[in-house]
Amino acid sequence: MAALDETHDPKRRSWLPSANAPGADFPLQNLPFCVFRRAGTGETPRGGVGIGDRVLDMAAAARAGLFTGGAKEPAIAAGERSLNRLMAMGEPAWRALRNALSQLLGTEGQSRRGQVEPHLVPMAQAEFLLPAEIGDFSDFYSSIYHATNVGRLLRPDNPLLPNYKYLPVAYHGRASSVVPSGVAVKRPKGQLRRGNEPPVMAPSRALDYETELGFYIGPGNPLGETIPIGKAADNIFGCTVLNDWSARDIQAWEYQPLGPFLAKSFATTISPWIVTMAALEPFRSRAFVRAPGDPAPLPYLSSARDQEEGGLAIAIDVLLRTAQMRETGEEAARLGRCNLRHAYWTAAQMVTHHASNGCNLRPGDLLGSGTLSGPEPDTLGCLIEITKRGTEPLKLANGEERRFLEDGDEIVMRGRCERAGYVGIGLGEARAVITPA
C-alpha cells in the first residue's frame, strides 16, 4: 500500500494552466494512465498520462530522454501499446515514475517545458482505447445494499444468502467484450420466459446498467500460490469507472444453477483512464462498518490496516440522456450518485479471496466491484432497484418514463474523489448509447 508523499501536496501546481483549473479531473495530483492515438489517424496506439486537458505521449517523452534513473524503464513501459508490462513492475517502479512525472509537469519542471510541450496532445484530438490487454474479468457483489435490494425483489423471504457476510461473492465474466467509453452497446438477444410459457428467443426487454468501479491487477501471483491480505493492496495497479450492463430478463431464466452468463457477457463499458492507487491515497477511509452481530471476516480476509484504511471514497454520478433529450438539447437526467464507501468488502479482500485457492491473477486482469448501491434512494446503482424490477417506472422531468433502458438511451458514468484539505481528482467517464438488437 502506497503512502501520502509530496506528490499529494495540495499546494503543488503544474506549469500547464488547465491542470490548475478549479474542479479539474486531471490536476498534477492525479496523473492517470491511458492508451491513445490522435483521432482520425493511423498512428500506432501508445500509452499516455493525463494532465489538465492534455495527454502526455509517454512513448515520445521516453524517446526524448525525459526520464532517467529508476523512472526510465517504467516510463518506456508506460508508452507501450498496452500497460500490462508497467502493471507487472510493481509498486517501487510505479512510485518512481509518479515522482518523476510530478516533477516534470510541476512548476519545478518549468525549465524543461520546451522539451515537454511537443509531446502534449489535446484530449479533444485524441482517440482512447482499452488501456490493457485484459486476460480475465471477474465481477464481485460487494455492496450489501444492492445485494439485499435485489435479493428482496427475487426472494422476499430470504433476500441475503448466508454466504454473503463470510466471503466476497463473485462470478467469472467475459474479458473479450470489455469495451472503452464511447463504443455503442447493441441490445442483446436471449431466451426469455414469461410465467410458465415456453421460452422464446428475442431481444432483451429489461436492459439495465450497473454502476461499478474496476480494479486492475498489478504483479499478481503464480498459479498455486496466494496473495496474503497484507500484500493485496500492492497487487492493485489502479482503478477505473465500470458499467457492467445486464439483461435482467435473460438472467432471470438462465442464471440457475450456475449464475450469470449471456445476460452479462455481451458488453462491459469502462473508462479509458486508470487512476493509480497512489493517486487515490488521500481518499482512503475505514472499511465498511459491519452491523452488530455480523460475523468478523475470517482470518485470511482480516487485516487491522485494511479495516482502518482499506475503504475508498470514490463517487460515481450516473446520467441518462434519452434520444428525445438529445434531439431537443435537454440536459441529461441524473439517476443517482453511488460511492465505493458503501462496499461491504474492500478491494484488498476481493484480491485476496480471488487468489485464496491458488488462482493466478495476472497483470491487466480486471476485477469489478459489483453494483455500488447505497442506503438512500438517490444512491441506487441500477434500474432494477430504482424501478422495483420495472413495477414503479422512473418519471423523467421531460415526461418520459423508464422501467428499463430503451434503444437510443445513453448512460454516462463519471467518477470523482473529493476530500477537505486535498485536491480533488477525476476518474473520467464511461459512456455508451444503446443500439437496437
Helix (H) or strand (E) holding 240: strand 236-243
State yes or no: is 172 an active-site residue: no
Task: Collapse the DSSP code of 62 into the 3-class scheme (helix H, G, I; strand E, B; otherwise coil) and give the result.
Answer: helix
Measuring CA to CA, which residue among 10, 48, 30 is closest to residue 102?
Answer: 30
Using the structure block, give the residue that is written with the C-alpha cell 480471488.
354
Distance CA 174, CA 369 (A): 15
Instruction: Tell me if 45 sits within 8 A of 36, measured CB to CB.
Output: yes
- Choose, from 8, 146, 353, 354, the residue flagged as catalytic: 146
Q: What is the DSSP string of 286-337?
A: PPP-PPTTPPPPPGGG--HHHHHH-EE--EEEEEEE-HHHHHHTPPPEEEEE
Phi, then psi, of 246 in degrees rounded to 5: -145, 130
Helix (H) or strand (E) holding 413: strand 410-417
Distance CA 100, CA 217 (A): 23
> Which residues are known to be catalytic?
146
